[in-house]
Structure 1
Amino acid sequence: MATYTVAFIGLGAMGGQMVRHLMAAGHRLHLYARRPEAAAPFVEQGAKVFATPAQAAAQADFVVTNVTTTQDVEEVLLGAQGVVHQARAGTICIDHSTISAEATRRMAARLARHDIQFVDAPVSGGPTRAADATLSIMVGASGDVFDKVKPLLSVLGTTITHVGDVGAGQVAKACNQIVQVINIQGIAEAMLFAARNGVDQDKVIEAISDGLAGSRMLDMMGPKMAHRDFVAGIEARLHDKDFSMILDAVADAGLSLPALTLVKGQLSVLMENGWGRDDTSSLLRVLEGQQQVH
């Protein structure tokens, strides 16, 4: 595979793993991170670190972003020190963040005025699958741009789906979050029901996991709830952030999604209880706190 200069912005739990894989594949990494210490291990291995996103992008073939919010992406791409000011014409920006589909389309249009192409490529799988390069990646891009970025994405994930034009990847990721977190709420309710009926939660998981109730989330979250392991795999605050954003998009579309609304309420209580940096399996603790004592 050809090798490229890749500017990478955002070296958190996911981004750091992605940088590691890109470097192992032979790509030249130009890094920008709010916390310089996050870049230090990669600099020791030959990556270069820059003071601004614009400087990191100046000589890059691709710019990859993996930050938290829509506003973060807008700032690093289009802000005062953003990528747009120094990236070369023909550069392709790939965004792995989970952000607004509508904002994604607006950013793509602004970048296009500078002959910079934009690809939304949110991921699913969390830090564990980022670490072993088995992420699922949902891509919004034109067909020819998708062909250009697929080899790079293949370094990071094993399931790479071209969903549609720019913004479609973020719509797919919102669907992913809806299914995933509503499922976690259902698992929490099942685990509470089993416990209150005096039945071994592990045995319930064993009994239902190979039936129609089986899911990856049950396999992951069921044991965590049963053994009260609330250490974060994915921090609950991120799911809360995503559900807030999705609810806004749902309202804009004139839709009513009752399960989404209910689970957002549960996530809000979770956040109020100070569990935002714990695992989303903490939805079980929210439920427990809402029960009347008999």
Structure 2
Amino acid sequence: MEQKNRIAFIGTGVMGASIIKHLLKANHEVTVYTRTKAKAENLLELGAKWAKTPREAAEDKDIIFTMVGFPSDVEEVYCGENGIFQSAKAGSVVVDMTTSEPSLAKKLYEIAKEKGISSIDAPVSGGDVGAQNGTLSIMVGGDKVVFEKILPILQLFGSNIVYQGEAGAGQHTKMCNQILISTNMIGVCESISYGLKAGLDVEKVLQSVSTGAAGSWSLSNLGPRMIKGDIEPGFYIKHFIKDMKIAIDEAEKMNLDLPGLKLSKQLYNTLLEKGYGEKGTQALIRYYVAD
């Protein structure tokens, strides 16, 4: 798909907006929809077109991306009265980048197939930084031939793009990703909290530990934000809790107990109750260290 494509993008949040900028920079025609038009104004100034509904956005498009909040939002933007499936043309490709339920990814795949539309589940990891730099990790489920067809587009904003298997496999892989992050974040916060209590210069601590066996993306990218008191979102706590719930539910279906994941969800729920739902995942540090 090296030619100019007519693209719709539903959801212009923290990550979606940066992805759209990459698509515009590559001279693709992009139509956007989000619930609040004001949030898309900077994209419209850059050349994106506006649609009043997902249905309108999807009309006569080659590729339709979605990146919304919750599985219920995904179902609404695809299957609702003003949803994508009401207008998407046969031969188009829908790509859901929301972290959602594997079962829903399979459902969308089957509905799309009946309409002559190709469906891909392609959740991402890398946060706001990865989206801005075009270095997202993208985990793809669906038909391999469709994956290969849209790969040049995905490469505009992703650097680690892996085909995982049939519909739903991308979402299952994202659950593996979120499980790793959930328990790792506890370790990062507890390490920084310990360093502070011990009277250490925690920036120097990070300098020592981040490149050794204890290193991780969260430590290198979110650890410095924690130290500075920056808890603004690269990824919302309320969405992370949603992801953890999906992972716990899927694990239970497979008779798998994940106590570390359950503990992390418990800690994040405590922050949610304190009003941190729209802060970044690094705000877990507030559980250990007061502002």
TM-score range, shorter chain: over 0.9
Specify the alignment match of 2:171 in structure 1. 170
Deviations 1:104-131 (A, max 9, x none): 1112112211111110111111122211
Of 223-232 and 207-216, deviating more is 223-232
Deviations 1:15-47 (A, max 9, x none): 111111111112111222211223333334443
* d(CA) in 1 for partners of 2:231, 2:36: 27
Specify the alignment match of 1:194 in structure 2. 195
* d(CA) in 2 for partners of 1:35, 1:227: 31
* d(CA) in 1 for partners of 2:178, 2:29: 33
Specify the alignment match of 1:121 in structure 2. 122
Residue identity matched to 1:262: L
Deviations 1:69-122 (A, max 9, x none): 111111111111111111111111011111111111112112211111110111
* d(CA) in 2 for partners of 1:47, 1:227: 35
Specify the alignment match of 2:151 in structure 1. 150
Contact persistence 1:122–1:173 (CA under 8 A): yes
1:88 pairs with 2:86: no
Q: How does 1:9-28 map to 2 (within 5 A)?
A: 9-28=10-29
Residue 42 and residue 256 in structure 1: after superposition, are their counterparts in 2 closer, same or farther (change >3 A)? Answer: same
TM-score by length of 1: 0.92
Specify the alignment match of 1:278 in structure 2. 279
Cα deviation for residue 181 of structure 1 reads 2.3
Residue identity matched to 2:204: K
* d(CA) in 2 for partners of 1:35, 1:195: 41
* d(CA) in 2 for partners of 1:208, 1:45: 41
TM-score by length of 2: 0.93
SS in 2 for 1:162: strand
Specify the alignment match of 2:107 in structure 1. 106
SS in 1 for 2:200: coil
SS in 2 for 1:43: helix
Contact persistence 1:139–1:160 (CA under 8 A): yes
Contact persistence 2:70–2:239 (CA under 8 A): no
SS in 2 for 1:247: helix
Residue identity matched to 2:190: E
Contact persistence 1:140–1:163 (CA under 8 A): yes
Contact persistence 1:135–1:157 (CA under 8 A): yes
Q: How does 1:251-290 map to 2 (within 5 A)?
A: 251-288=252-289
* d(CA) in 2 for partners of 1:233, 1:15: 11
Residue 88 and residue 230 in structure 1: after superposition, are their counterparts in 2 closer, same or farther (change >3 A)? Answer: closer
4+ residue runs over 4 A deviation: none
* d(CA) in 2 for partners of 1:203, 1:142: 47
* d(CA) in 2 for partners of 1:74, 1:206: 44
Q: How does 1:54-73 map to 2 (within 5 A)?
A: 54-73=55-74
SS in 2 for 1:90: coil
Specify the alignment match of 2:44 in structure 1. 43
* d(CA) in 2 for partners of 1:191, 1:130: 26
Contact persistence 1:230–1:282 (CA under 8 A): yes
* d(CA) in 1 for partners of 2:20, 2:70: 20
Contact persistence 2:14–2:234 (CA under 8 A): no
The number of aligned residues is 289
Contact persistence 1:184–1:221 (CA under 8 A): no
Specify the alignment match of 1:292 in structure 2. none
Cα deviation for residue 3 of structure 1 reads 1.2
Specify the alignment match of 1:225 in structure 2. 226
Structure 1: gaps (5+ residues): 290-294
* d(CA) in 1 for partners of 2:82, 2:44: 22
Residue identity matched to 2:192: M
* d(CA) in 2 for partners of 1:223, 1:286: 17
1:182 pairs with 2:194: no
Larger radius of gyration: 1
Identity within the alignment, %: 36
